[in-house]
Amino acid sequence: MRRYILCIITALIMLVMSFSAKASNSNIEWTKEEKQFMEEHPTIRMGIDPSFVPFEFIDKDGEYKGIAADYIDLIEEKTGFKMKVVEELTWAEAYEEAINGTIDVLPAISKTREREQYFIFSQPYYYFKRIIVTRDTDTKIKGINDLYGRTVAVQRNSSYQSYLMELPNINLSLYESVEEALTAVANGTEAYYLGNLTTSNYIIHNNGLTNLKFVAFEAEKKQGIQFAVRKDWPELVDILDKALDSINQQEKENINNKWINTEIETDYWPIIRIVLIITSTLILIWLVSIYWILKLKKEIKQRIEMQEDLERMRKEAENANDIKSKFLARMSHEIRTPLNAIMGMAYLQKKTSLSITQKLYNERIIKSSNSMLGLINDILDFAKMEADKIELERISFSLDQVIQDVVNIVSYKIDERELEFRLIKNPQLPTWFYGDSKRLEQILINLINNATKFTSKGEISFEIAMIAKEEEYCHIEFILKDTGIGMSQSQIADLFEPFSQGDSSINRRFGGTGLGLSIVKNLIEMMGGEIQVFSTPLNGSTFLFRIRLEIDQPREAHHKDERYSVYSVCFNNLRSLVLEKMGEDRNLIDNYLGAFGMQCEMTSSEITAINMLETIQGDMEHGYDLLIVDYKTPTENGFQFIETLRKNKKIIKFPKIIMLFPMMREDLFDLMEEYQIDIGIGKPIISSVLYNALIELFHNKSVAIEKTNNNMVETKKVMDMKQLKVILVVDDNTTNQLIVQSLLEEVGYRVYKAGNGKEGIAIFKEHQMEIDLILMDLHMPLLNGYEASLEIRKISADVPIIAMTADVIQGVIEKCNDYGIYQYISKPFRPEQLIACVHNAVYKEENAEKVGEIFLDQAHAFKMLGNNPEIYRKVITEFLNENQNTVDELSNLLQVKEYAQAAQMVHKIKSSLGTIGTEKIRNQSIDLQRMLEENEEQEIVAVSQSFLSGLSKLLEEIKKELLK
């Protein structure tokens, strides 16, 4: 009876709806043109997407169904059209035929700017929202911006393809259907899909893709489903819009409920089955409960004993970990102390009169000491990683310097195995970055040493490439290839596990703990990068890792300006000839010289080189200015080749000579003067080293620079030598005393020495009025550094105390603060680090007493100008003369808004400011130049006032300095 009543009610509702629809249809007022169009075109050809569920699709019986199909049924009733589907076409084919005009209407499509070129659109009849679909384990994607730089799956010729093509840095992976794209994301072939919520949800639930999730974005925007009509039928759009307007709300809700909120008749059998299972389980539990109750007391007793065992094991583990930490700290301390003496003595020896070969050997000692320090740090790093205590520094560093340091450390191992080593670096890469240079160096040394260990013949190739460059960041790829023994896939799988080397035979043949690569992987991931390995047994290995580094914009800009400033040289009119047999090295040199602006010609034949020099050098105006010769390229050697050239009478004007020496052939540097070689460079070739060599050859030097191993090493000196500052060094190690004394006296300090804490206190009491700073070792006999510092603080609360210790355990800094020690230097220290720390501490109070802000950075200028007072005065005098009227002239240009000329004036003095001015005023000049070039009027007013004020004060300070 109840069912009968429901049927009657349903029939009445359908009757009313039918009447309403007919009434609606009868109320549509067609224009004359619209009626004529309907008569002339009774049949409309439609192109559909056969799998765009639930909007439109072809079911298993071949029928056209979906939301769009139901709307089309209503439109056919209201218009009299016969809207026919063109069958057996994919969506891509239907879309192309619609563009070509062989299909009249696309009934379920979204409007995009691209599609508006080919179609006119009806009003939307259904709305949906865009979503990103990922696997449920992915937590990286929060919105559309997170997809930049990634690959996204999308349906071909869909609105989402057009949408994504308008966004930068997103790669598209095109699929013929949404179902294929979603399946690819579910099985891991693709990582992301972009589409609409309705279709994606429908397919996911119908196909059981349970490992996917949605990420909504642009929540405030709704995307519409519309009819796309060929452009020459605007009447059809008007007809469709009127028909859509006549569809009432109830009809729309019925369609929506049919496909989106479909009600399903409840199937009670699963519930009954669950009830039966639960009942059976309860009966089974009841039957076995007696057994478990009988065993409960015994189980409780066993658990108590187990808990006691676990607690005992936990305490033993904590004790063992504590012993390990103490052992690591003690071991580190005992090794670091003599290592500090080795590094210090090597540094002092470098200051003596040495031959070029001795200097290079000495540099190797320093680099190898640093390498040994790195090994110690590896062990400590691993312990820190286990405890999640390791942190990365953010300091400014030169990538070229890092590469040079790495090459110096690993070169002797490569040469020992007689391997070729190739270095390829993109010349467009910036030089200065922010980051942890020591950790990057640690990564590269580990990888190159690993490649060297497993390569018995052939070569090692090290490439640094730039993947992409943003405004503030650079994406860099490091690639290391070797021709060694290679690895199987099973060995690669265990490669980054600590204390693992693939298999025991590897360990027996090559040694090592397998700890380095584990640390490498952890450090790269901490830097936000990833590392990959590609290898085949007996065919070598390739290690590849990518990181993103922040560019040090001020130093990089200054670095670029230096290359084109008045203190540098313009290479545009210089010509060079390169004699090099290795193709990769020729290309690298060509790229470097091209980046410097120098004209370059290449050859691998010594005969050709001689002919070129004879033919062209006769013309004094168009001759070669520079000849770069690889030592190993000529048949005999590079020296003999140069001797032959000098005897050739046809070469009238002899060029400058740069000779490229093989790795680890420091003995050849001693022969350069004998064969009149201007400059020697050791391979592999690094951009900055080659650039410095060119500067030295073609620029009249105005700065005093000390060179060692082709690297510029600047020696900091105390500027005020009239009244020497006094340092008290308290250290029980006499070697360390000697090193610190020598370093400090070399830069203008007087030094008192004490061998323990009691002696240090006595000396401080006697010379309290003289001593400006105390360097305090923490571990000494009789009285340690902590207790001695506490006693000194009772005498003076102001004297700076800097701790010197090889301790690396946690809590040292906090303990130092408790005992009145507020600065800390870890052994082994670098000499430059010690001098800088002492200088900053000694002169900190003196600088603080100066009134007003300082704009003339004397310390920086001295460093840039080789610590030469005469050149310093010439430079600041020339700057003052050139800029006497700059403030007034720049003010006038700004007042009349002549921003282009003002930008040129600011650019002209910017490089000089980088040499003699503070970082603040130079940064203001960089900002002001950019604002002037981009006509940012509001920002120019504020920045220009501050810059002009600073420039005026700088000029006043220069005048005062010149009067001294």
* CA nearest neighbour of 414 among 478, 496, 483, 495: 483
- Asked if the model's pLDDT at residue 845 lies above 60, the reply is no
So what's the pLDDT on residue 929? 84
What gap in Å lies between CA 464 and CA 483, rounded to an integer?
18
Q: 3-state DSSP call for residue 377?
A: helix
Question: Contact at 8 Å (CB) between 182 and 212?
Answer: yes
Q: Looking at residues 850-872, what average pLDDT do you find?
A: 60
- Three-state SS for 752-766 is EEECCHHHHHHHHHH
- Look at residue 375 and give its three-state secondary structure: helix
Closest CA to 369 of 396, 390, 391, 350: 350
Range 943-957 average pLDDT: 82
Q: How far apart, in Å, are the Cα atoms of 673 and each of 579, 658, 659?
A: 20, 12, 12
Torsion of CA 192, 193, 197, 198, to 10 degrees: -140
Average pLDDT rounded to a whole number, residues 810-815 = 68
263: pLDDT confidence band, cut at 50, 70 and 90? very low
pLDDT tens column, 723-775: 578 999 998 887 788 888 888 887 778 899 998 899 999 999 988 888 989 99
Whether the predicted pLDDT of 713 surpasses 50: no
Q: Measuring CA to CA, which residue among 479, 468, 473 is closest to residue 425? A: 479
**What is the predicted pLDDT for the residue at 911?**
65
Chain mean position to CA 311: 45
- Report residue 876 CA to chain centroid gap: 39
Predicted pLDDT at 26? 47
Return d(Cα 515, Cα 821) in angstroms, integer: 36
Q: CA 303, CA 220: separation in Å to the nearest integer? A: 57
**Rounded Cα gap, residues 486 and 483, in angstroms:** 8
- Tokens (6 digits) for 678: 């201007």
- Alpha-carbon torsion (346, 350, 355, 361), positive or negative: positive
How far is the CA of 141 from the CAs of 5, 135, 150, 216, in angstroms? 53, 10, 11, 10
Which of 119, 125, 21, 16 lies closest to 76 in space, CA to CA?
Answer: 21
Other Cβ atoms less than 10 A from the Cβ of 225: the count is 24
- Measured distance CA(33)–CA(895) in Å, rounded: 65
Give the pLDDT band of residue 148 (cuts 50, 70, 90). Answer: confident
The arithmetic mean of pLDDT across residues 904-926, rounded, is 75
List the beta strands (DSSP E) in 806-905. Answer: 823-826
pLDDT at site 260: 73
CA atoms lying within 13 Å on the CB side of residue 335 = 17
Q: Which of 16-25, 93-102, 170-179 has the lowest mean pLDDT?
A: 16-25
Region 845-854: what's the mean pLDDT? 47
- For the ranges 370-379, 391-400, 586-595, 884-893, which has the lowest average pLDDT? 370-379
Tell me what pLDDT residue 714 has. Answer: 32
Q: What is the pLDDT of residue 542?
A: 93
**H or E element: which one contains 861?**
helix 858-864
Give 706's pLDDT tier (boundaries 50, 70, 90): very low
Residue 486: which region, alpha, beta or left (left: phi > 0; alpha: psi -120 to 50)?
left
User: Which residues does residue 130 pair with via DSSP β-bridges, in sequence order?
Assistant: 196
Angle subtended by helix axes 937-963 and 886-895, to nearest 10: 170
For residue 21, how many C-alpha atoms fall within 13 Å in the half-sphere facing its CB? 19
User: What rounded mean pLDDT belongs to the chain?
Assistant: 78
Q: How far apart are CA 229 and CA 238, in angstroms?
A: 11
| Residue 377 or residue 787, greater confidence | 787
User: For 189-229, how does the pLDDT look when each residue is reduced to its tens digit (9 = 90+)?
Assistant: 898 998 888 788 878 877 778 788 888 776 566 778 899 99
Using CA atoms, how far residue 954 sits from 564, 902, 940, in Å, is 23, 19, 20
More confident site: 92 or 14: 92
List pLDDT tens digits, range 496-522.
Answer: 776 555 444 444 444 444 567 887 888
Q: How confident is the model at residue 847 (pLDDT cuts 50, 70, 90)?
A: very low
224, 130 contact by CB (below 8 A): no
pLDDT exceeds cutoff 60 at 306 = yes
Residue 951 CA to residue 938 CA, distance in Å, equals: 21
Report the distance separating Cα 559 and Cα 922, nearest Å: 13
Identify which of 181, 43, 37 has the alpha carbon closest to the alpha carbon of residue 105: 43
264 forms beta bridges with none
Query: Interhelix angle for 178-186 vs 197-207, to 10°?
Result: 60
Q: What is the mean pLDDT of residues 49-55?
A: 85
Q: Are strands 801-805 and 771-777 parallel, antiparallel or unpaired?
A: parallel
pLDDT value at 479 more than 90 = yes
Q: Is the pLDDT of residue 848 over 80?
A: no
Contact 842, 725 (CB under 8 A): yes
Separation between Cα atoms, residue 202 and residue 128, nearest integer Å = 13
Give the distance, in angstroms, between the CA of residue 634 and the centroid of all CA atoms in the same chain: 42
Neighbours of 417 (CB within 10 A): 13
In whole angstroms, give the CA distance from residue 749 to residue 774: 12
pLDDT reading at 153 higher than 80: yes
What is the structure's pLDDT at 44? 92
Gap between the Cα atoms of 48 and 90, Å rounded: 8
